[in-house]
Amino acid sequence: MTQQRPNIIFITTDQHRYDSVGFNHNSHVRTAALDALAADGLVLDNCFVPTAVCAPTRASLMTGRYPCLHGQLSNGFTIRDGERLWWHDLAEAGYRTAGIGKMHVEPWDDPLGWEDNIRVEGKDWLTGTDEYVKFLRKHGYEFNRPRQAPEFASSHWSRGWLSPVPTEHYIDTYIGNRAVEYIEHVAQDERPLAAWISFCGPHHPVDPPAEYADRYADTPVPPHVFDPQELATKPPEQEQMFRWKGMTEEDRVRCWRYYWAMVELIDDQIGRIVSALQKTGRWNDTFIVFTADHGEMLWQHGMFDKAFAFYDDIYRVPALVRWPGHIEPGRYDGLVESIDLIPPLLEAGGRDVPLSLCGRNVLAMADGRETPRDTVLGQHFHMRMVRTKEAKLVAYAHRDYGELYDLRADPNEMTNLWDDPGSRELRAALYQSLVNRLIDATDPAFRQLPEPTNKGAYDGYLRQHTDLAARYLLP
């Protein structure tokens, strides 16, 4: 099957650390399918998410805009009316669109404009009757999610345990099955595909099936980045994530091993998706994107989960793009925000990139057509982060404390230099960078207007850009 526009397959994992794939120099975790994609594509070494919380960063991947603009500020919020999602544009261009797996929106069953919608809303999601719940009921299980199984009632959810369901009934196996079935089902459709395949792992609970856990029984894990006195020099918000009290080194090692076991299971499903694309004749015409919504602390700094901190453990994610004949294989070490993955998808589908997008074209930055980023921006509630390759600053609104790290001397972010007299110049420079980024993020479309005179002077300009006209012109 040959076509002018490529199929677009956007694959995401949930709570996936940068260092937990083979192609990012980890010889302990087995990710053969992702490593093969990386060898044939462009690996993004420094890809950062806009916020380390599931729903808002997914909304940013949907819109190409920051949470402060699209309105999904944290889990439980909703995307503002009028926000355009990238597959809406591709559908208008003639694509067959599908969402398969976890989207994490409110309400959970919002079809989001997908032509085909196969919703599986998460490993620890306790209510609702999505496709996976129906599958579990069909196979005789008496709980909506494995986390609700009786044997886990007294277990701390962050300790790690074996799944109460076998591999063939595991949630990410289910998503892999549905993705393969879908690709085979639409094999005769001449339209190009635009599908988001969204896995639920390796999000907690850390619960691989036994057959995958056994593969990592003796695998070495990274050293524990932790100082018992660390919280004394860090903002109090981090206490919400500090869960090391009561945990043991055995717990930590088991979690790392089980976490990698979940990653390998997902990688096997990605391999099956690749095989299905090859079998149906779509592989050579497919633009693949792989990334994660955010990372996982996994006991570094004594923390588990994500949200109320800005460590690279949860803001830096694995990412790659593959499109043979169009993307030169290799590695790009420039700073990238995950929303920078959206403009090239639209361009590949023959659509103009709306001026309202915050994301820049990662391919254009990688090949020199656009100026590289010199900072990345992070945000959550009253907290804002700016990071360069060398340093990081986190500001807390209406607080007299913050965080400052020299990443060259302190890559593990152990020593907070916020109150260090010798770091005042660095703090001031990063503060100015943060202010600039926040002004730029106010609304990227508005920043591209000509110098203001009055509203009437804009009418002709705005009417040439329909996305701007809808945003700024009166009816």
What letter does residue 308 receive in the DSSP assignment?
S
Q: Is the pLDDT of residue 153 over 70?
A: no
Question: Rounded mean pLDDT of 187-207?
Answer: 96
Question: Rounded mean pLDDT of 241-270?
Answer: 96
Q: Is the pLDDT of residue 199 over 60?
A: yes
Average pLDDT, the chain: 92
Query: How sure is the predictor about 159, in pLDDT bands with cuts at 50, 70 and 90?
Result: confident
**Shared-domain flag, residues 240 and 363:** yes
d(CA 378, CA 164) in angstroms, rounded, equals: 37
The pLDDT value recorded for residue 189 is 96
Low-confidence winner among 56-65, 334-343, 460-469 (lowest mean pLDDT):
460-469
Strands 316-317, 42-48: pairing is antiparallel
Query: How sure is the predictor about 266, in pLDDT bands with cuts at 50, 70 and 90?
Result: very high
**Shared-domain flag, residues 357 and 245:** yes
**Shared-domain flag, residues 82 and 139:** yes
Residue 423: domain span:
378-472
* Structural domain contains residue 2: no
**Shared-domain flag, residues 391 and 363:** no
Question: Rounded mean pLDDT of 159-163?
Answer: 89
The pLDDT value recorded for residue 172 is 98
Low-confidence winner among 132-136, 147-151, 435-439 (lowest mean pLDDT):
147-151
Exposure string over 386-422, b if 16+ CB within 10 A, otherwise e: bbbeebbbbbbeeeeebbbbbeeeeebbeebbbeeee
Q: Which of 372, 389, 421 is the last residue of a domain?
A: 372
Q: What is the pTM of this model?
A: 0.94
The pLDDT value recorded for residue 107 is 83
**Shared-domain flag, residues 52 and 163:** yes
**Shared-domain flag, residues 346 and 222:** yes
The pLDDT value recorded for residue 76 is 80
Q: Is the pLDDT of residue 128 over 80?
A: no
Q: Is the pLDDT of residue 2 over 50?
A: no
The pLDDT value recorded for residue 1 is 35
**Shared-domain flag, residues 81 and 166:** yes
Q: Dump pLDDT digits (tens) for 337-372.
A: 999 999 999 999 999 998 889 999 999 999 999 999
In total, how many domains does the chain have?
2
Residues found in the chain: 475
**Shared-domain flag, residues 77 and 171:** yes
What's the per-residue H, E or C state across 192-259? CEEEEEECCCCCCCCCCCHHHHHHHCCCCCCCCCCCCCHHHHCCHHHHHCECCCCCCHHHHHHHHHHH
Q: Dump pLDDT digits (tens) for 417-428.
A: 999 999 999 999
**Shared-domain flag, residues 345 and 436:** no
